[in-house]
Structure 1
Amino acid sequence: MNDVPLDCSDPQILMTEVARLRAEIARLESRVEDLDRLAYHDSLVPLLNRRGFIRQLEKMIDRANRYGDSGALLFVDVDGLKVVNDSFGHHAGDAALVHVAELLAGDVRQSDCVSRFGGDEFAILLEHSDHRHALETARRLADRIAGSEFCHEGSCIPLSAAIGIALIEPGDRPESVIDRADQAMYAEKVAA
């Protein structure tokens, strides 16, 4: 910060100071964008992280409360990632997560929100979705993951996922929706 008073009578000095301040504002805005990206986006895959996802879930719940909008949460757990890590190394496990993230993001509507919730779990918000649509989407995504070819350093590794569904209801809290979807995912694992 410059503690020397400006000579306000010299237009050139004022213009130089204005240019310096604009550059400083642009630098700070860029830094804020970087910090926002770090706070709300996953470091491995190009998706929102848990914090970014919960922020979007809160917005969807708010729309459900205010306007009666429908929505659903899909909770996706990649099966056997520990085995992939143990058998092929953590680079293979990371590559598998990137592969699944690309499949999920590429096979939902642009208005839907895909995130890496943590570890081997992903969460997807489906806007304007009823149970039938959420079930069709979950089945399509599970089939897409199981039917995809994932190869790492010459080894083809089968992937699969269990997907739980929870509809977003007026009066919900993020934790309650996530818990219902998580329980549905575990029920799906047991049934498989």
Structure 2
Amino acid sequence: MADRDKDAEGGAGDELTPEARAAILRLLDEIRTLRDALAASNRRIAYLETVADEDPLTPAVNRRAFLRELERAAAVSERYNLPNSVVYIDIDGFKAVNDRFGHAAGDEVLTAVARTLVDNVRASDIVGRLGGDEFGVILARADAEQAAEKADILTALIAAIRIEREGVPVPFSATAGVFTMDPGTGAADALAAADRAMYERKAARQREKG
């Protein structure tokens, strides 16, 4: 009996006062508010990161985001001895498109090219607009042969795009250069090598035309 009375007294002493209960409720409300604010902040950060990576005109990522992903690809090649390739694509005849059909037509060409590239690579690959009429594609775990084959497919798809202005076809095509990264190859060197390969191929075509 004495023990029960003691337990009862202890239980009564453990009960919260109205002031303490109100303080706890206020604290819980503050925690919920902070949690909601943190979630909103995280959503905002994720949105800003996405916007910061987007090219303002096309569905490709911008140059900054592309170079960041190329650095990661170079690190993977270095660490795991895996091939990663970069394709450098230049739109042929783009200046003539702007001069003859106007910049709106040029923007349509850029958007169509970027959409074609994005729609015809794997989810693990990255398409970026490097500036003006130049695009890059990072082909994850693609060796030199696979990358060259993919580059030919992509340029053929670009050549097949049909855009018209008042019933007149807008002519353009694309030239691609490919470089496959070896362990130790930096991102900047890989991109520069792909760029050189693209210009060499463009020059070879000009020589063939005479």
- Indicate which of 107, 111, 114 corresponds to 2:127: 114
- Match 1:72 to one of 59, 72, 85: 85
- Distance verdict in 2 for CA 1:100–1:16, change over 3 Å: same
- The corresponding residue for 2:17 is none
The DSSP-based 3-state class of the residue aligned with 1:122 is: strand
Normalising by the residue count of structure 1, what TM-score does the alignment of the two structures yield? 0.89
Which residue matches 2:94?
81
For residue 128 of structure 1, what is the aligned residue in structure 2?
141
Q: Residue 171 of structure 2 aligns with which residue? A: 158
Distance (Å, rounded) in 2 between the aligned partners of 1:186 and 1:137: 18
Larger Rg: 2
Gaps of at least 5 residues in structure 2 are 1-19, 206-210
Counterpart Cα distance in 2 of 1:8 and 1:121:
65
Fraction of identical pairs, as percent: 38
Counterpart check, 1:38 vs 2:38 = no
Alpha-carbon distance in structure 2 between the residues aligned to 1:144 and 1:182: 20
Moved more, 119-128 or 9-18: 9-18
Q: Deviations over 1:122-161 (max 9, x none)?
A: 1001112121111111111111111221235644212201
Which secondary structure state, in structure 1, belongs to the residue aligned with residue 137 of structure 2?
A: strand
CA distance in 2, matches of 1:16, 1:90: 55
In structure 1, runs of 5+ residues without a counterpart are 1-6
Q: Matches of 1:187 and 1:25 in 2, distance apart?
A: 52
2:204 partner amino acid: A
Name the CA distance, whole Å, in 1 between partners of 2:41 and 2:169: 46
Once the two structures are TM-superposed, the CA of residue 8 in structure 1 deviates from its matched residue by 8.5
- Residue 202 of structure 2 corresponds to residue 182 of structure 1: no
- After superposition, the CA RMSD in angstroms is 1.8
Q: TM-score, normalised by structure 2?
A: 0.82
In structure 2, what is the Cα distance between the partners aligned to 1:120 and 1:145?
A: 13
Q: Counterpart amino acid of 1:32?
A: I
- Work out the CA distance in 2 between the residues paired with 1:173 and 1:188: 23
Q: Which amino acid aligns with 1:187?
A: E
SS in 2 for 1:42: coil
2:156 is aligned to 143
| CA distance in structure 2 between the partners assigned to 1:153 and 1:31 by the alignment | 43
SS at match of 1:148: coil
Say whether 1:28 aligns with 2:41. yes
In 1, Cα distance between the equivalents of 2:166 and 2:41? 42
- Richer in helix (by share): 2
CA shift, 1:53, in A, is 0.9
Match of 1:99 in 2: 112
Aligned residues: 186
